[in-house]
Chain A
Amino acid sequence: MNLRFQAAALAGAALVLPAALRAQFNFPIEGREVQIHSFISQGFAYSDENNYLTMKTSQGSFAMTDAGVSVSMRITDNFHAGAQVYDRCLGKLGDFHPSLDWAFGDYQFKRWLGVRAGKVKTVLGLYNDSQDVESLHTWAILPQSTYPLDLRASTIAHTGADVYGTFAVKNHGDISYTGYVGSRSEDKFDGYEYGVTSLGLYYKSESGRYAGGDLRWNNLVPGLLIGSSFLSGPASGAGNFVSPYSPILPVQTKLTYQLAAYYVEYRFRGLTIDGEYRREVLNGAELLTGASIPYLLDQRGWYASASYRISRLLEVGTYHSRFYPLWDQNHGDPEHHIFDQTVTARLNLTRHWDLKIEGHFIDGYGLLYSLRGFYPQDNPHGLKPRTNLLVVRTGWTF
């Protein structure tokens, strides 16, 4: 199937499927509430220079499709359970292999104490757990400094357990906490596999136990949310380095991954202002041909955004996103930063259907192993320092 036909088929499916997926079913089973909801989105991306996010954007690409279906059931007044299946095709990522996005049971003892167990979406920053659902966001593409589409699987969910709860603060809103421990989800169709393979690394990461938490204060003053998240766990693995210039070399890494995020959001009538700062540190050693080489990677990123809903139909917004793959290096080199200034118009065509038109003005491309949109195998003639990108994305949610 050639690419044009595939793109046309995808676009057609995205136009037809919403009718089939008009699956907002609410019904009782033996008196217990059951809800089924779904979403689907289709995008088009065109860039003037580099190919982005594994799509052939320099030629225009429709390879930006995703969909999800969730079912939830209230089993008792305090216990509910559910699951969601998610599928995506983003250039060469996802490849339409459906995955179990989350599936867990949730028991709330008190407002200040509940537990969830199973495969749970990880609470991290403002949007980690909701990043896949296009309709929940103003943007066609979320800031890639903090929510990289390539590395979605590394933080999207964990299989384990959460403890959560909310405390009321008199006249100053609520404080919510979440703590969790579990194993990280794996996705061989994610950007990590795609990126390291291009470097000659045929590598299997070890899924270790990791732990984290989130603390947020909502309505400290009306409309204001502040919070912070952290996550820590192993990022070790083993495999082979394959190069035409050397024999196959065994590679092993023993690393610890630590992430800290701080975020703020303010909403006033139609105005939303938010921002987030992240620091990610990989620390440990790399074992190559028996020699242990110290490894330290300190990545930082942040974004600030503002959006305004002018009317029921139209919302406009902008964000500025900055990512530094090596914080302790000179940031001026295009390998050492990815800056993205974005402007968006979102049209809410119906309560269930939206259309976004978004311009990205990207400066820099990061390191080969940044795995943030720019890959050498997609840009065989070399990467240019600037990329202007147009994204049109439409989504249906039921």
Chain B
Amino acid sequence: MTRLRHLARIAALASGVITAASAGDIRIIANASVTADTISRDDLQRIFLRTMVSLRDGTPVVPVLQSSGSAHETVLRELLGKSDASLVTYYRTLVFTGRGFIPKTLDSNEAVAAFVAKTKGAIGYVSADTKTPGVKTLEVK
């Protein structure tokens, strides 16, 4: 199974399409109010770095992060290209220059899934095996 997953990831990378599942077994989840079914990797990065406050269809977006864990490490490494410390520094720069806010940060996959389910416009990430009732999964292109 692991070998198959590895081969699937190589195939996805080779085709230029990185799915959420290939990005280290995480899923990008969104509140049901988010109309999009897919999202580009660049836009996802912009949303979590808060340089993009609404989706391309105009829907205001509320990013939610995890404070630690394997899903968080995967997002740092494969999506944001930052260490946890440099991400914290980045958000603090936004706050102390008045240009933005620190995103909501929660402690577990389940807490993120629950927050996304009840918060209009919310987008977060969870481990692929997390049960996420009431949310949609976005395909990352």
A, B from the same assembly: yes
Binding site for B on A (CB under 8 A): 26, 33, 35, 37, 39, 68, 70, 72, 74, 77-78, 80, 82-84, 102, 104, 106, 108, 111, 116, 120-121, 129-130, 132-133, 135-136, 166, 168, 174, 222-223, 267, 269-270, 309, 312, 348, 351, 397
| Number of A-B residue pairs having CB atoms within 8 Å of each other in the complex | 77
Q: 8 Å CB contacts to A: which residues of B33-68?
A: 42, 46, 51-54, 60
Given contacts A35-B101, A84-B98, A351-B88, contact A108 B83 (CB under 8 A): no
A346 → B minimal CB distance (Å): 10
Residue B15 CB within 8 A of the other chain: no
Q: Are B96 and A270 in contact (CB under 8 A)?
A: no
Residue B93 CB within 8 A of the other chain: yes
Q: Contact partner of B85 among A77, A104, A309, CB < 8 A?
A: A309
Give the chain B neighbours of A111 by CB distance below 8 A. Answer: 46, 51-53
A289 → B minimal CB distance (Å): 45
CA of A323 to CA of B74 in the docked complex: distance in angstroms?
42
Given contacts A168-B42, A223-B81, contact A70 B51 (CB under 8 A): no
Q: Contact partner of B83 among A39, A106, A120, A309, CB < 8 A?
A: A309
B54 → A minimal CB distance (Å): 7
Give the chain B neighbours of A106 by CB distance below 8 A. Answer: 98-99
Top 10 A-B pairs, shortest CB-CB distance: A77-B60, A129-B97, A133-B96, A121-B97, A130-B93, A37-B95, A82-B98, A102-B98, A136-B89, A35-B101
Interface hub of B86, B96, B97 (most chain A Cβ within 10 A): B96
Q: Are A37 and B92 in contact (CB under 8 A)?
A: yes
Given contacts A77-B53, A78-B53, contact A135 B98 (CB under 8 A): no
Q: Are B53 and A72 in contact (CB under 8 A)?
A: no
Residue B102 CB within 8 A of the other chain: yes
Q: Binding site of A, secondary structure by majority: helix, strand, loop or mixed?
A: strand
Give the chain A neighbours of B84 by CB distance below 8 A. Answer: 312
Give the chain B neighbours of A348 by CB distance below 8 A. Answer: 85
Binding site for A on B (CB under 8 A): 42, 46, 51-54, 60, 81-86, 88-89, 92-93, 95-102, 104
Q: Are A39 and B101 in contact (CB under 8 A)?
A: no
Give the chain A neighbours of B85 by CB distance below 8 A. Answer: 309, 312, 348
B53 → A minimal CB distance (Å): 6
CA of A129 to CA of B95 in the docked complex: distance in angstroms?
11
Q: Are B54 and A33 in contact (CB under 8 A)?
A: no
Give the chain A neighbours of B54 by CB distance below 8 A. Answer: 77-78
Question: Which residue of chain B is the closest to A315 with respect to CB atoms?
Answer: B85
Given contacts A37-B92, A72-B95, contact A267 B101 (CB under 8 A): no
CA of A351 to CA of B60 in the docked complex: distance in angstroms?
30
15 additional A-B pairs beyond A136-B96, A174-B51, A269-B83, beta carbons within 8 Å, are A26-B104, A35-B101, A37-B102, A72-B98, A77-B54, A102-B97, A108-B53, A111-B46, A120-B98, A121-B97, A121-B98, A136-B92, A222-B81, A223-B81, A309-B83
